[in-house]
Amino acid sequence: MLRIKFRNFVQLLLIPIITSCSHQVTYTNSAPPFTPQQQPHPAAQQLLNVALQQQGIAYRYGGSKPSTGFDCSGFIQFSYGQTGKRIPRTTRAQYQSSQAVPISQIRPGDLLFYETQGRRPGHVAMYLGRGEMIHAPSSGKNVLISRLNNPYWRTRLVAAGRF
């Protein structure tokens, strides 16, 4: 008999709802295309614009600025900081300090926490909307946009948070 963790089971049920847009969205400018009903709050739109401008910046462990590169939490802290919002530096502190949000209710600008290092969140990304996130994934890669329904990320999503 196949045993599935309850969390993974719930995620498998929720991801199709979250990622109902089945096509790949390509952003051609600094702001993602939203219908009027999905339009982010102006503060969230500013945050998304800052984050999207960092695409292509190299990953660097401990990095927290475009000139030297970003790790995942440094990228998030920098993006929020550019909009005047001070948030903690590490993934763990961002997880602990953010307001928990049910994954089914995430909005653009919310943080997504992933279990990549054992039982605690080891990676953080920013939800863009339309089933996509932006993040600094790992060594040898750059800040990029990924789909939430990517098999690697889908099985590791553990929480969402909002500042």
| Domains along the chain with CATH numbers | 41-162 (3.90.1720.10)
Residue 72 a catalytic site member: yes
Choose, from 21, 23, 41, 123, the residue flagged as catalytic: 123
Task: Classify each residue of 52-73 as buried b or exposed e, where b means 16 or more C-beta atoms within 10 Å of its C-beta.
Answer: bebeebebeeebbebeebbbbb
Q: What is the mean pLDDT of the chain?
A: 82
Please tell me the predicted confidence (pLDDT) of residue 34. Answer: 43
Please tell me the predicted confidence (pLDDT) of residue 133. Answer: 98
Residue 41 a catalytic site member: no
pLDDT in tens, 84-110: 999 999 999 999 999 999 999 999 999
Specify whether the CB–CB gap between 133 and 142 falls below 8 A: no
Which conformational region is residue 162 in: left (phi greater than 0), alpha (psi within -120 to 50 degrees), or beta?
Answer: beta
Confirm whether pTM is higher than 0.75: yes
Task: Give the closest residue to 61 by CA, choosing from 133, 138, 146.
Answer: 138
Q: For strands 132-135 and 144-147, give the pairing.
A: antiparallel
Please tell me the predicted confidence (pLDDT) of residue 43. Answer: 80
Choose, from 21, 23, 41, 135, the residue flagged as catalytic: 135
Least confident of 27-31, 107-111, 117-121: 27-31
Residue 135 a catalytic site member: yes
Please tell me the predicted confidence (pLDDT) of residue 39. Answer: 61
Specify whether the CB–CB gap between 98 and 86 falls below 8 A: no
Per-residue pLDDT at 51 exceeds 90:
yes
Q: Which residues contact 4 (CB under 8 A, 6 or more apart)?
A: 12
Please give the residue that has the higher pLDDT: either 16 or 139: 139
Least confident of 5-19, 43-57, 63-77, 141-155: 5-19
Please tell me the predicted confidence (pLDDT) of residue 104. Answer: 93
Per-residue pLDDT at 143 exceeds 50:
yes
pLDDT in tens, 66-76: 999 999 999 99
Q: What percent of the chain has pLDDT over 90?
A: 71
